[in-house]
A and B are shown apart, each in its own frame.
Chain A
């Protein structure tokens, strides 16, 4: 889970890292009051979990409280790369004498964390890294030792950061380890005209797997909750992601479901969602999943693709029958069952003999069928032209 900038800022402050004075609000009048408390002149920053805010007009300087209100009115409700701005942060401006970049990031290749540091913060660090890799230092961290003062000094020197940043580097490592973060990034880390080292903007990604021992952010709504279908699925404990197409997809196992989306896209149709019922799914999970997908008005047909490894196909079939009995099915369902108890599962569906449910013997054949049904229902020849969203 990514934190909002204002949450990262609070976290840094709690760990003794200097940050600009700031307040968060969801209203223009609140912005005016905050600006007044902060001394009048403020930076108004959209709170969204995506980069490129500045370019999108989501970060602006306001000269006084009245201007802050006006600016907040412009920014609140703005759409930045598909993220609606619900809150703005108002921060005291800082006199900047130098801008640096620092992050701790998981390095999959080595299976441990890396420190990344550069004296060229404040701009597109990816671009600096691509064009002048020597300007960006990458230092592996031994997980058993972590970032000690000596290690921090090594990182600062390698990245060309001033020695005063050593203390901040140690504290940021504490944020990473104690909060179970996968990424802690400060860009820019600045030296003020007064010589203080201050985290001007930060990004923190927390490990969802560690939620059982990190209660701090447990009640924060995630962005997924903004989509009503994703919220409904989350409430039922389903692993569901809404997409833009017309073919509803249910399968077991993340890899097989991703593959199913691709195979459907290869048949000139677009998947409406990702839904993984997981290993060993019960009839109830299958029924819940089907009911979420059938409640999506964009769905024109549904493809149930299950390879029973641990999952038993008869339980999946029972779940489908259970859903058929509780919802009025108006959309065609294509079901492909293979593996564990597949014969029994197919027999259960044959026995129910619902006119809108058909079975297929192969994954590719089922995908073609579900795609054709969706395109026939959509009644448009244009769908094929929009199907090629892969590989971008």
Chain B
């Protein structure tokens, strides 16, 4: 089962013929992803060889869907063209658009989120590492060889912290890991993933990784309290980040009294979520919870 992405998923890559697109399409294929095509109007009709597989290039997302039945697109196009790419994908009726591109103007993200929402297209990202269902499919840039299939679901704002936790818990394995991205405006939220993992019969425990900025973790805490019966273990980064300084992620900025790591930790703990003080301790909390569930 897993969430959002399975071995049945047929994946298009928008921007496949660029340097990043080529590199990661190869990695996705190596991880077992069913990449059915790339999209580039200037290279339509050609095929691109990845090791032993020839992947066709379509002129549009619509053509790609008509030819292959694709239901997922991974977007690698540069920031200036990302809005048009997502709107094209939503217009073509794609179910899931995973937007890896970093540095998309916020007004563009606001516009394409509203557009996609109205057409029933789920967006993950932007500025995210994508998602992986180990052993089945990988849509994005998460390294596939860190861990194996298992029964932990993971949702995270941060790419490298996702990898770190996957590595700490590599012997347990994961159902699906979703990197939702660190931008101020994102498509799929912590809450969306919590709801999906709660309903996923292949997920026993949920790891939630957050960081300073905004109030997504506080809202996620309220959601856990009211709707999630599976155990949730969390980690929050940014306790030492000073107010008013942007720490890399556009969304990771503390302004005034809101968005602090301490406030998020307290909200989560009040909802019954165990919160680790380091990634390693978080992994230990996961192991302890899994042991006590047995």
Contact = CB atoms under 8 A, between A and B. Distances in A.
B110 A363 contact: no
Contact of A338 (B167, B212, B245, B248): B167
Interface in B152-180: 156-164, 167
A158 interface: no
Contact of A209 (B106, B142, B182): B106
A261 B241 contact: yes
Contact of B104 (A142, A209, A263): A209
A274 interface: yes
A328 B141 CA distance: 37
A63 interface: no
A262 B237 contact: yes
B149 interface: no
A126 B120 CA distance: 36
B29 to A, nearest CB: 16
Interface in B122-156: 129, 141-143, 146, 156
Contact of B105 (A111, A207, A261, A262): A207
A147 to B, nearest CB: 14
A222 to B, nearest CB: 11
B240 interface: yes
Main secondary structure of the interface of B (DSSP, over half): loop
B158 A255 contact: yes
Main secondary structure of the interface of A (DSSP, over half): mixed
Contacts of B106: 106, 180, 182, 207, 209-210
B248 A276 contact: yes
A363 B164 contact: yes
B215 interface: yes
Interface stretch (B34-42, B53-61, B193-201, B250-258): B250-258
A257 interface: yes
A369 to B, nearest CB: 14
A243 interface: yes
B209 A144 contact: no
Contacts of A262: 237-240, 261, 277-278
B103 interface: yes
Interface residues of A, number: 56
B280 A177 contact: no
A209 to B, nearest CB: 5
Interface stretch (B2-10, B64-72, B111-119): B111-119
A111 B280 contact: no
Contact of B107 (A126, A177, A340, A363): A177
B256 A126 contact: yes
Given A207-B105, A262-B278, A310-B141, A113 B110 contact: yes
A50 B246 CA distance: 15
B261 A255 contact: no
Contact of A258 (B167, B214, B241): B241
A143 interface: yes
30 contacts: A108-B184, A108-B185, A111-B110, A111-B113, A111-B187, A143-B110, A144-B115, A180-B107, A209-B103, A212-B79, A213-B80, A213-B105, A253-B158, A253-B159, A253-B161, A254-B249, A255-B158, A255-B161, A255-B162, A255-B182, A258-B237, A259-B279, A262-B261, A274-B241, A309-B141, A338-B167, A339-B163, A362-B280, A363-B278, A364-B280
